[in-house]
Amino acid sequence: MATIKIPPVLRASVGGEREVEADGADVGTVLHALAAQHPATQSQLFGADGELNRYVNVYLNDEDVRVLGGLQTNVGEGDTLVILPAMAGGER
């Protein structure tokens, strides 16, 4: 079971949770499990081609999964996935 940290802009899609747990042996499977639990996240995370949207960064612990094996990156028990869309707010 991996822990997924949900960014503020996606929390409404997961019932307000800040962290969600999901099962899977690799990053893609974990994120698809998240999308199965919370369907509103599907289009926010994945494009029509099934790849991660380019504006969403996903980190396995502290490393960008694109530097690792992308969606095929192995996820171990107790690993944390961080979903990170850009935030712009300086809030005037």
- Which residues contact another protein by CB under 8 A? 5, 7-10, 18, 44, 54-57, 59, 62-64, 67, 82, 84-92
User: Any idea what DSSP says for residue 6?
Assistant: P
Closest CB to another protein among 46 and 59? 59
* Residue 61: CB minimum distance to another protein, A: 9
* Residue 12: CB minimum distance to another protein, A: 11
Between CA 65 and CA 57 the distance in angstroms is 8
Closest CB to another protein among 8 and 69? 8
Residue by residue, DSSP assigns 25-76 as SBHHHHHHHHHHHSGGGHHHHB-TTSSBPTTEEEEETTEETTTTTGGG-B--
* Six-digit token string for 84: 């990170």
* Residue 73: CB minimum distance to another protein, A: 14
Closest CB to another protein among 22 and 60? 60
